[in-house]
A and B are shown apart, each in its own frame.
Chain A
Amino acid sequence: MIWQFDLILLTLVVIFALISLRVKDLMGASIVFGAYSFLMCLIWAGMGAVDVAFTEAAVGAGVSTVFMIATIYNTGRMIKPRPQDMSFKLLMMLVVVITGAFLLTAVNDFPEWGDPYSPVNDHVAAYYLTHSMSDTAVPNVVTSVLADYRSFDTMFETAVVFVALIGIYGIIRRRRKQDDSDSDTDALPPYDPSESLIIRQASRMMVPFMQIFALYVVAHGHHSPGGGFQGGVILGASLILYSMSYNLPTLFKKMTEKWIILLSAIGVLIFSGVGVICMMLGSNFLDYSVLSQILPATDSVMARSHAMLIVEIGVAFTVMCAMVGIYTSLASNGRFDKGL
């Protein structure tokens, strides 16, 4: 980590955050927010957190910007200036400044930045680093902690993503031909993809390569940055790109709504199913080492390595479907017939 870079990037991040809150055009604000996320991901990559940076580049700079634009597309884009209550703003400013001052007094009590022997870096984190290779034969320690040592955490995070998808369908999904009367007055004009031949052809060539890259990211997560979350997001992004450059019905011809829900449920089922199989073989939930009894030609160490791959595939299914499902409901305003 070069501290000069760190200094510049951290300052830029603050400026970008302020700009994205300042801009009156919501479309501009979400694009600036994407740039903010990308700068953030550079900072994290500089501090050695490549997996986190990878996820943020795919999620923060990619998919969440698309979600915001899909929301704005169906509603208003410009903020109309309104008279503001200044006393309310001043009060909020006071609350924020006091909270910030309290937090800043705690800064001096933190261990020095980059101290390898600080409490955070010492106990269990050091164990993971020194034992990952002999316990699980996985050199990327992030993957082995994610999918093995702390798999309960990951399983329930996957379940949270699934529940969020179900919640979004519950909130916004409308039956067709129910209330088509409420055409949104200040929405953007309907998007006609036939105008954009270049975009269509370009994305038609990009989508298969994105999907192959995503599969590589999922499968090679043991040895390089990557894994189920990143691969799933990239798979979802490739489908989102496909639906943006053509239109929603074209996507639903390839992948119906039913499959989106079903696959996301199957992902959680794969993860928890591996845990249940471990229990049936006479061990604890998600203790993969007993799987050597049923996986051919593996010892208890390699069984953990292989089980991690199975679990990551489950995560990728759920995350991909959640991204596609959230995008399609936001872009079509819950009607799933036409949209961005």
Chain B
Amino acid sequence: MLQELIASYNYIIVVVIMMIGLWAMLAKQNLIKKCIGMAIFQTGIILFYISMGAKKGSTLPILEHAHDGAHHAVVAAHYANPLTQILMLTAIVVGVATLGVALTLAQKVYQQNRSYHEDKILEKLSK
């Protein structure tokens, strides 16, 4: 039982983190908190990809090599999966750019409505 829990603990935590983010995006009424929720959701997905690419007893995806250019035979199972890693590497940087856009929009909304609170903004808009 404990062994099974450890084996799937990563995936369970992924689901928990993603749901925390989703809950913040839906139920929190402060726009900055919504942005934080979005970022949390995103890290959940990144954790999911990295967990899938991890291999037991493997090392970093940087190959051993000699200076004279001689190649060692590479066994793929000895190195962590590089593919899931690069997909997430670019996703992080794009994620911070989109977070920047979200925060800019929030700041613009604040300029015009003097509040980050959803209800207050709606009150102002309906006037």
Query: A-side interface residues toward B, CB under 8 Å?
Result: 1, 3, 6-7, 10-11, 13-14, 17-18, 20-21, 26, 29-30, 33, 36-37, 40, 43-44, 47-52, 55-56, 59-60, 63-64, 67-68, 71-72, 74-76, 79-80, 82, 84, 88-89, 92-93, 95-97, 99-100, 103-104, 107-108, 110-118, 120-121, 124-126, 128-130, 132-134, 137, 139-142, 145-146, 150, 153-154, 157, 160-161, 164-165, 167-168, 171-172, 182, 184-185, 223-225, 229, 233, 319, 322-323, 326, 329-330, 333-334
Which B residue sits closest to A123, measured CB to CB?
B83
Q: Given the complex of chains A and B, what is the CA–CA distance between A128 and B17 in angstroms?
A: 31
Which 3 residue pairs of A and B lie closest in terms of their CB atoms, listed nearest first?
A48-B80, A114-B56, A164-B97
Please state if A153 and B90 are interface contacts (CB–CB under 8 Å).
yes
* Residues A172 and B39 in contact in the complex (CB < 8 Å), given A48-B80, A63-B96, A72-B32: no
Complex interface residues of chain B between 48 and 95 (CB less than 8 A to chain A)? 50-65, 69, 71, 74, 76-77, 79-90, 92-95
Please state if A96 and B26 are interface contacts (CB–CB under 8 Å).
yes
Number of B residues near A (Cβ < 8 Å) is 90
Most interface-central of A18, A21, A112, A126 (chain B CB within 10 A): A21
Which B residue sits closest to A325, measured CB to CB?
B100
Please state if B39 and A121 are interface contacts (CB–CB under 8 Å).
no
Please state if B62 and A120 are interface contacts (CB–CB under 8 Å).
no
Please state if A125 and B56 are interface contacts (CB–CB under 8 Å).
no
Please state if A229 and B89 are interface contacts (CB–CB under 8 Å).
yes
Q: Given the complex of chains A and B, what is the CA–CA distance between A80 and B79 in angstroms?
A: 51
Which B residue sits closest to A24, measured CB to CB?
B30
B126 interfacial by beta-carbon distance below 8 Å: no
Please state if B86 and A142 are interface contacts (CB–CB under 8 Å).
yes
Please state if A55 and B52 are interface contacts (CB–CB under 8 Å).
no
Given contacts A49-B50, A51-B89, A153-B90, 20 further A-B contacts (CB under 8 A): A7-B9, A14-B17, A20-B40, A43-B47, A43-B50, A47-B50, A49-B85, A75-B110, A92-B26, A93-B23, A100-B18, A113-B8, A115-B55, A116-B58, A121-B53, A128-B83, A153-B87, A164-B101, A322-B100, A330-B103
Partner of B93, one of A59, A89, A110, A140: A59
Partner of A95, one of B26, B84, B90, B94: B26
B124 interfacial by beta-carbon distance below 8 Å: no
Q: Given the complex of chains A and B, what is the CA–CA distance between A74 and B8 in angstroms?
A: 43
8 A–B contacts from the bound complex (CB under 8 Å): A48-B60, A49-B54, A72-B32, A92-B23, A125-B53, A129-B79, A133-B71, A225-B62
Please state if B99 and A67 are interface contacts (CB–CB under 8 Å).
yes
State how many angstroms separate the Cβ of A250 from the closest Cβ of chain B.
Answer: 22
State how many angstroms separate the Cβ of B37 from the closest Cβ of chain A.
Answer: 7
Q: Given the complex of chains A and B, what is the CA–CA distance between A153 and B85 in angstroms?
A: 13
Please state if B110 and A76 are interface contacts (CB–CB under 8 Å).
yes
State how many angstroms separate the Cβ of B76 from the closest Cβ of chain A.
Answer: 4
Please state if A125 and B76 are interface contacts (CB–CB under 8 Å).
yes
Please state if A113 and B18 are interface contacts (CB–CB under 8 Å).
no
* Residues A141 and B97 in contact in the complex (CB < 8 Å), given A51-B89, A113-B8, A146-B86: no
Which A residue sits closest to B103, measured CB to CB?
A71
Q: Given the complex of chains A and B, what is the CA–CA distance between A92 and B98 in angstroms?
A: 25
* Set of chain A residues within 8 Å of B104, measured between Cβ atoms: 168, 171-172, 326, 329-330
* Set of chain B residues within 8 Å of A88, measured between Cβ atoms: 27
State how many angstroms separate the Cβ of A142 from the closest Cβ of chain B.
Answer: 5
Please state if B65 and A76 are interface contacts (CB–CB under 8 Å).
no
Please state if B16 and A100 are interface contacts (CB–CB under 8 Å).
yes
Q: Given the complex of chains A and B, what is the CA–CA distance between A1 and B10 in angstroms?
A: 12
* Set of chain A residues within 8 Å of B19, measured between Cβ atoms: 96-97, 99-100, 103
